[in-house]
């Protein structure tokens, strides 16, 4: 079964998550330092070689009022470029409060500030992907 990959694109780092083999849960994949659009493109290509990726979900950081600020526009641009370069469906998904939720979860788990900084982006990507999956409903196996 093909998988969905998610990116949480921040100013300094990008976190990634992927669906599991059964398309039931989102699994964290790690964090990469961000040096521009090429970071996500290279990482997506690397993951496409390792997993059967059918689509990418990019967190869309729109404001609480629903307005698209500078970060949202930047993520829209990355999503469009990924779709063009990779020939995959790339969906934007509302990521409001996912980083804050990830941060709260890590604090509740008593994760140190230094360690939180290293994992919060991948956890945010996992939350984005989980939310996207829940909105789509259960997925049947291919051919079933």
Is residue 126 in a domain? Answer: yes
* Residues with Cβ within 8 Å of residue 144, at least 6 apart in sequence: none
For the stretch 39-84, pLDDT in tens is 889 999 999 999 999 999 999 988 777 888 898 999 999 999 999 9
Is residue 95 in a domain? Answer: yes
Question: Could you give phi then psi for residue 117, rounded to 5 degrees?
Answer: -60, -35
* Cα 1 from Cα 53, distance rounded (Å): 9
Model confidence band, residue 143 (pLDDT cutoffs 50, 70, 90): very low
Is residue 144 in a domain? Answer: no
Domain that holds residue 49: 3-136
Question: Could you give phi then psi for residue 103, rounded to 5 degrees?
Answer: -60, -45
Is residue 85 in a domain? Answer: yes
Say if residues 30 and 15 touch (Cβ distance below 8 Å): yes
Say if residues 18 and 26 touch (Cβ distance below 8 Å): yes
CATH number of the CATH domain containing 62: 3.30.420.140
Mean pLDDT of 116-127: 79
Say if residues 38 and 55 touch (Cβ distance below 8 Å): no
Reply yes or no on whether the pLDDT at 3 is more than 90.
yes
């Amino acid at each position: 079964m093909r998988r969905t990959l998610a990116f949480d694109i921040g100013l300094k780092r990008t976190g990634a998550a992927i669906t599991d083999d059964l398309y039931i849960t989102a699994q964290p994949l790690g964090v990469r330092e961000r040096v521009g659009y090429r970071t996500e493109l290279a990482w997506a290509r690397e993951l496409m070689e390792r997993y059967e990726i059918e689509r990418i979900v990019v967190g869309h950081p729109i404001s609480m009022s629903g307005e698209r600020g500078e970060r949202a526009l930047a993520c829209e641009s990355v999503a469009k470029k990924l779709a063009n370069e990779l020939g995959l469906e790339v969906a934007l998904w509302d990521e409001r409060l996912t980083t804050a939720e990830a941060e709260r979860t890590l604090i509740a788990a008593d994760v140190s500030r230094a360690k939180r900084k290293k994992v919060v982006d991948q956890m945010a990507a996992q939350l984005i992907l989980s939310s996207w999956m829940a909105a789509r409903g259960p997925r049947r196996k291919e051919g079933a």
